[in-house]
Amino acid sequence: MALMALAIVVIALVFFVFRRITGKRATMADSSGGEVKGSRRRRRLPPGSMGWPYIGETFQLYSSNPNDFFAEKQRRYGAVFKTHMLGCPCVMVSSPAAAKFVLVTKAHLFKPTFPASKERMLGPQAIFFQQGEYHARLRRLVLRAFMPDAIRAKIAGVEEIAVRTLSSCDGRFINTFQEMKTYAFNVALMSIFGTEERSRIEELRQCYYTLEKGYNSMPVNLPGTLFHKAMRARRQLGLVVAKIISSRRESGTTDLHHHHPDRAHSDDLLASFMEAKESLSDNQIADNIIGVIFAARDTTASVLTWILKHLAENPAILQAVAEEQDEIRRHKDQIEGAQEKSDLNWADTKKMPITCRVIQETMRVASILSFTFREAVEDVEYEGFLIPKGWKVLPLFRNIHHSSHHFPDPEKFDPSRFEVAPKPNTYMPFGSGTHACPGNELAKLEILVLLHHITTKYRWSICGSTAGIQFGPFVLPRDGLPARIERLR
């Protein structure tokens, strides 16, 4: 604990010194959280504590469960409160109305913000870091490849990956999260690149694994450090993607032709990015491909890990899901004749209401993304409080999802609560507004497909205690949920 505290203090001090050297100012408000003065009229900041000078409340946040930290703040100060973390003054919002204000109603006043090191690793032209017309164009291109009409053609590929993943786990003790990361990664690569370019895809895979190890490292670009290795891998990733783009151009399949099944790339994301009239540069394409892989992998894998945990702990719910999936399989076998392999289709995925409610409830209880970061681009007033320009603003999804006002007995895992649609802005597992996750339909599909196969053909048991969670940075069952999986004979 002492080492952890020292590390946090050092990080905060380094961050502060860097900001002073570069002349940046995060706020015009004093560190005690007083009123903002100057040419503007006196306006009140939200209530809250700013903690120690420079360090703020960073230690309090990271020395315990972050969700406990946010819940206690909300209890003491209300739905809108201020704090200071990692060198940045912040306003936290934990009501549906405030989240809607930041993410939807006044979204143009709050830009997405990430650590500079994250931008360097993913690529500064990735969709996460954008606003305005360029962001709208990128979002349109991603949605075109990931909307239901486009992903219908991907079901067979997703199913093949799911079957292969589960077969590789048969009879083994596994780290559930790591296996689900591999599954989600393979689905992402198939959705982005199609099924060709296998040799270059394998090279891309190895480079990405190196890059991934540096995501949460200190941004010290010295030989031997994780960050240095990650940046070197990032440069290599750009070269690999450039080769794939060149090969695609040479093959003449750079435009979308949704109604031409003979085109192997007609519905993949790269085809959407490469359509001539969109005029994206190779660097823009590379940044966004790497960004999509980053967004698609850990989040989906985390949801799947939590689903398998909750199903193992709730036998009645598992039985209901298994019966629903068995009925789909029996119906297909009757129509197509008894056979070992009956492919799923789009219509099948619409016959899984119980399974879908399990997914919804898992995303509510787990709240994989506990919050998201925005930054005020100008002074903003909300319910009489001032949010100064440059301050970070964090909509707290987990607090909203665990509010007893909207979800009675919020800690209980109860998929039946989604038999009735939740109230507007109380359930935001994919975010909200123009920066909501554009790949949510594909994520739902790959979860449904894997659950179909694992509940009808396998059984699994959790090894060791099911208690405890970890943050890395997504919320996970402790140790990635060690489990044993076996095929039903």
Count of other CB atoms within 10 angstroms of residue 51? 18
Q: How far apart are CA 86 and CA 75, in angstroms?
A: 23
Classify each residue of 291-302 as buried b or exposed e, where b means 16 or more C-beta atoms within 10 Å of its C-beta.
bbbbbbbbbbbb
Phi, psi angle pair for 451, to nearest 5°: -65, -35
Q: Is 437 annotated as a binding residue?
A: yes
DSSP 357: H
Q: What secondary structure does DSSP assign to 18-44, as a single string?
A: HHHHTT----SS-TT---B-SSSPPBB
Count of other CB atoms within 10 angstroms of residue 21? 8
CA distances from 249 to 117, 133, 179, 274 (A): 32, 26, 34, 9
Q: How far apart are CA 43 and CA 133, in angstroms?
A: 33
Closest by Cα among 32, 5, 35, 72 to 399 = 72
Rounded to 5°, the CA angle 286-287-289 comes to 65
| Structure token pair of residue 312 | 């193992």
Burial (CB < 10 A; 0-12, 13-18, 19+), residue 32, is exposed
Is the Cβ–Cβ distance between 447 and 307 less than 8 Å?
yes
Owner of token pair 């973390």 = 85
Closest by Cα among 127, 83, 131 to 109 = 131
Give me the helix-helix angle, 440-457 and 353-366, nearest 10°: 110
Q: How far apart are CA 387 and CA 83, in angstroms?
A: 12
| Structure token pair of residue 242 | 């450039």
Count of other CB atoms within 10 angstroms of residue 64? 11
Residues making up the binding site for heme: 437
Residues making up the binding site: 437
